[in-house]
Each structure stands twice: as C-alpha cells, then as structure tokens.
Amino acid sequence: MSELKILPWHAPLWRVVSQAIEQDRLGHALLLSGLEGTGKRVFARTLAAALWCEAPDAQRQPCGRCGNCRQVLSEAHPGYTALRAEEGKRDISIEAVRLLCGRMVMTSHDGRSKVAIIDPADSLNRNGVNALLKTIEEPPPRSHLLLISERPLALPATLRSRCQQLRFGIPPREQALAWLGQSGVGTAAQHAIALDAARGAPVRALRLLEEKGLDQQQTWKGALLDLAAGRAEPLKAAADIGEEQAGAFLRWLYGWLLELLGRGLATASGQGETDALARTLPRHALDRYIAEVLENLRRLESNARAQLVLEAAMIRWSALVALGRRT
C-alpha cells in the first residue's frame, strides 16, 4: 500500500499519536508490534509524513499530496531514513546502524524532525542493538525511531523497555470486510476467504487478493491433501514448492495446521476432505508438528538450506498422516 492514510482500526492509536505530535511530546523511540498484515508499516509511514506535511487535516493526518508527503512515499525526504537488511542478508549490519545514528545526531536542514523506520527491528543483531541503545538513551532533539516488529519478544528486553509500545491487533471482522469491500479488488466472497487465509489481518488479505496468493495457497493445500491420500511423494512435493517459496509456504502451513487443529476439536463433523483429515490426526502429534514448523521457520532465518527444510517438512507431514491412520 502506497497511501498515507490511517486505516479505520488504527483510529484509537492515531488519536494518541496525533495528540503527542500536537503537544510536541512524541516519543523518541516507538515500537510498532503486531501480526503481519495489520498495517504497522502504513501507520509508521503516515506518522513520519505527518511530522512534515504542509497541509494536514484536523486529525493531523498528512495530505499525501504536498512535496514533503511525496518525498516520504518515495523515501527521498532528507529527514527520513528507512533501515532494512540488505538483500540476501538476515541481519541489519552494524555499519548501517552506525550510519543511521550518525544521521540522527545531525541537525536537519530545516530544523524539523528526523525520523528513521527500522523494519523489521528483530533483524538487528546484538551489536546493532547496542549501538542503537546509545542513541535512544541520549536522543538527539526532534529525532524519532520507529521500530517495526512481528516478533517483539525476539527483541532484547533492554531495547523493548526503552520504547513506547504501540500494539496493532486484529480488527473486528465486520470492519475488516468493510475495508476490503472499498478496495475494489475481488468479490465479497473472495474477501471473506482471503481474510480467513490471512488469519484476520486485512492488509495481508488485500495483498493475497492483489497477488493471486489465494490460488497459490490452494495449490499448497492440494499438495498436502495429495500426500495425505497417498497420491504424491514428499520429495516431489517439496521440489514443486521450491526454495524461493519456502518461507511463504511454511508461514501458510502454520496457519493451516492451526485451522486443522481447530476443526479436529470442533463438535460439528464436516464432510470435506480437510475435515475428515482433521478428525484422524492425533492432537499430540499435530501439536508437535506445529512446533516443528515454527522451528523450521527459525532455521530458514538462520540460513538453513531451504530445500532440505521443505523436504523434512513434507516427510514429517507424511509420517503424521500415516500415524493418524494407525490410531
């Protein structure tokens, strides 16, 4: 999303932040945390633009049209820095953090605020965190660090405790569906399916619709059902998914397994292939497999061979299904 606009479910958080801007008491370090697809990055970018916008509205939301707003959208504003890990790297380098800290202590060209968005903050290694802590503990005037994280507990407590925390939750389903309905992408039925697939996160659901991600997920689901029915082989299924999709597949798999767990615990008995499978899988073994999927995601982040991780996941899935048939 390239707009500078507060999403409907962000309104309570925005009232807090806009009042702080109005009273010139916005914190030097803010930690924006929550599930992927809840709009943290939209909020952070909008907040940065609000500090420089030439024509904000009555709620301090940026206009999105002035020169400063356009520069934020293109990440070209002189007071704005976006810090991310380099392509192909897991961590944000200590050199990049030091460069950022150096920029933050410099006086801005117009004397106004300086903003840095660190995304994701859990890509900071120990040295990067220590370098950043010095800037947070002795913040330059009118400087603001916006840290984004889907895994805030992965951050050191020394860093979390020095940040003002803004938590982004899943909005009510009706509100999320109404927002998706205004997007102009997909039908109402597709909105509901995408929202379920995104575990209630509207921005993630919209991205699935825009990128045809639902079709990909149906392909993955079909592959797992084929393995469960003995219609496919684990190594071939892993090869079909491919290394480039390993992370996306495992994140989807985690959500789908939670859905299976819920269906298996439900009293109603559905008649579909997925419902039948959910009833046969032993709960204790399914719990262990869900934990293994999370561990595989961590292994990927530690530069494990993606294809080997996929192969292990498919082999373990086949073993889990076989166990269910025997019990």
Domain ranges of the chain: 8-168, 212-326
Beta strand ranges found along 176-253 (DSSP E): none
Please check whether the domain covering 212-326 is classified as CATH 1.20.272.10: yes
Place of tokens 């084929």: 226
CATH classification of 8-168, choosing from 3.40.50.1100, 3.40.50.300, 3.40.1160.10, 3.30.930.10?
3.40.50.300
Helix H or strand E encompassing 274: helix 273-280
Return the number of other C-beta atoms located less than 10 Å from residue 196's C-beta. 13
Q: What's the whole-model pTM score?
A: 0.79
DSSP 17: H
Four-point Cα dihedral 135, 87, 303, 151, nearest 10? 50
- pLDDT one digit per residue (tens) for the chain, 327 residues: 567 889 999 999 999 999 999 998 999 999 999 999 999 999 999 999 999 999 999 899 999 999 999 999 999 998 999 999 877 677 898 999 999 998 888 766 666 789 999 999 988 989 999 999 988 998 888 899 999 999 898 899 999 999 999 999 999 999 999 999 999 898 999 999 999 888 899 999 999 999 888 888 889 999 999 999 889 999 999 999 999 999 989 988 998 898 888 776 554 455 567 778 888 888 899 999 999 999 998 888 777 899 999 999 999 999 998 887 776
Q: What's the rounded Cα separation, in Å, for the pair 280 and 138?
A: 58
Alpha-carbon Rg for the chain, nearest whole angstrom, is: 22
Tokens of 117: 């968005």
